[in-house]
Structures are given as structure tokens and as C-alpha cells.
Amino acid sequence: MQPLTGLELAELRELLGGDHREFRARQLYDALYRQKVPDLGSVTTLPKALRAELAERFGVGVPEAQARYESVDGTCRYLLNLEDGRTVETVLMPEERRDTICISSQVGCPVNCGFCLTALMGLERNLTAGEIVGQVLFVMRRHGLAADSDRMNVVMMGMGEPLLNLANVLKATRLLTDREGIAISPRRITVSTSGIIPKIAELGREAVRPKLAVSLNASTEEQRRELMPITRKYHLRDLMEACRAYPLRGWERLTFEYVLLGGVNDTDADARRVVGLLGNLRAKVNLIALNPGPGIPFETPAPKRVHSFQQIIRRAMPCFIRKPRGRDIFAACGQLKRMETGKLVQVG
């Protein structure tokens, strides 16, 4: 059964056809993305006969939860079922002043970063635009979240390398930001990349796009090549050049993410080299002390070392230490791997 989530208004018009396709397409679009209906029978603005006809051929297409894991800090990690039987992970991180939904762009990941559990899966396939948007709709409906609130944030930092699925990521972004639909501000959507240089330039040419975050994680070419084999194809020097050429909007900064690995990339000398790499960019740095997991051959640095690293970078640009969320259920950054961990909660 073909899912409707992921279709833009023009595609719904073409699908419906008929003399009233513009009017009916807008009603259906509103029901899918603004009202977030659970099934086509709930689209009460459409005639009953049309609802029945659509229900025979189409489904809403929002994924269902196979399992939910709850952390002691309030983080919820969902294992969601896709139409083909595969599963993908989505995480909600509620905080006092904001709610962040961390969504996936691929099933698994082809980028073999040595400190990430998702990398151990390899890549199964890209997600469709509907499967990307569907994760957000699922969490918003399950938790009663409002897109027009300043609390709402979406980060494409779950499973996958988003820029290797750029067409679907961009279509999903258009749907997520459309004021006639879900209406999340582009300022509140971030996509994270390991550094796919040609796709960074392609992203920058788009009128509707999320904010860009780059996973740096090393201060030298040699160090980054060891930690992130993608650097063998896309070199650090060229990545920095692509970041300098990236067309930032007036309100925007580039974000650089740096996973600190104890005794590997966390020295004061590393911090000074990071400043040298980023010093001439309009940027900020998010530091992430390694979130440990089975099969990851690195250690989490001591808090004192993380603080020292931050202090050096803060002399040149904004630098923040990202608070780990959901470690006890393997929901923290770099930990998603469809693991049976934490407290399983019955979902219905």
C-alpha cells in the first residue's frame, strides 16, 4: 500500500486528479501534516466515499513503534517499523526549555567512524522522504509536541549520513518547514555530516535547507583518517575550504561537532589545532565526550580534560559541552544500533 506521508502538495494534486483536485489535495495535505491524522478515516474534511477510495489504495505511512526505551533522564528511544520490515531508531530528548527529536536518514550507515556503534551495522538502505518526515510526525503525535513552539528542534543526527541521501533529506526538509503543513522553522532543523564535500556545496545552493553541522573529531589529517576513514576520500584541508565557501544565512553559524576520545584527540595541542582550523569561520563547536558502547575501542576522557579543551576553544569562538542524554538506554550520540537495552516499555 503506497504511503501518502512524503508527498508534497503538487504530488497529492496529481494523485487525486478530478475537477476538485486542488481543493481536496489541500484538505488532505492539511490532514497529513498539520493535523497529523493517524489514518485516512480520520480525514473528516473529505467526503466519506473519497476517504474509503483512498483507504483502499493508500496508507498514511507514519511508522509504528516496535519498542520504546525510557531513560532515567526522560529520553525516549523508539525502534520504528518501516513498510518493508526494516527498523530505524528515533530519539526524543525533552529538556526544561526545549524538546529535540533526533531522527535517522538511513537504515544503518556507510561511514565507518571508529567511535560510532551505528557504523557497525553497515548500510541497509536510504530512507524515503516520507520515512524521514514520518519519524517527526510519530514523535510529535505521541508526545503532543507543537511545531510553532520555540521548544521544538529536529536534528538529523541519528542513523546514517544524511548528505548521502540528500534528495530525500531536502524533500523532507521542505515538508517539515512548510508553513501550510508541519511548519517547523528552518532555524530549528540541523543536518549533520561526516564531510561529504560535493554534497555540502549542493546543500548550500538550496533555498530551503536545514542548518549544517560538520563532524570534525580530529585536529590533523592523519588523526582524522584513522578515526573517520571517509577522510581518505574527502581530505580535511578540502573540507575546511568547502566550509569557508558555504553560503551562511545572516542568522547562521556552522556547527562543528568534536567527539573527545580519551588519550587520542583530547589534548591541549589538539584544541589549539582546532582553533587554527576554524578560527576564520563563523562557527561554534559542540564537544561530545565519547558515549561508550560494546565494540568501541576508545575511552571517555576525564571531565577535567573536557573542560580544559573547551576553555582553549572558547578563547576563539563559542564552544559548548553537549550533555549526554539517554546513555543508559544507548540513545546518546553515536550509540544507536538497534540494541536490546534499557527498560522495554509495552507500546500499543
Q: How many CB atoms lie within 10 A of CB 34?
A: 15
Residue 308 burial (10 A CB sphere; 0-12, 13-18, 19+):
middle
The answer to whether 55 touches 40, Cβ cutoff 8 Å, is yes
The amino acid at residue 9 is: L
DSSP string, 17-66: -STTHHHHHHHHHIIIIIS--SSGGG-TTS-HHHHHHHHHHEE----EEE
**Residues 6 or more apart in contact with residue 55 via CB below 8 angstroms:** 39, 40, 41
Distance CA 261, CA 316 (A): 22
The catalytically annotated residue of 64, 83, 89, 252 is 89
Choose, from 161, 226, 333, 340, the residue flagged as catalytic.
333
**Which string of DSSP letters, residue by residue, matches 191-208?**
EEES--HHHHHHHHT-SS
Clarify whether 333 is annotated catalytic. Answer: yes
Strands 76-81 and 64-70: antiparallel
Q: For this structure, is 116 an active site residue? A: no
Q: Exposed, middle or buried: residue 8 (CB in 10 Å: 0-12, 13-18, 19+)?
A: middle
For the annotated catalytic residues, the residue numbers are: 89, 333
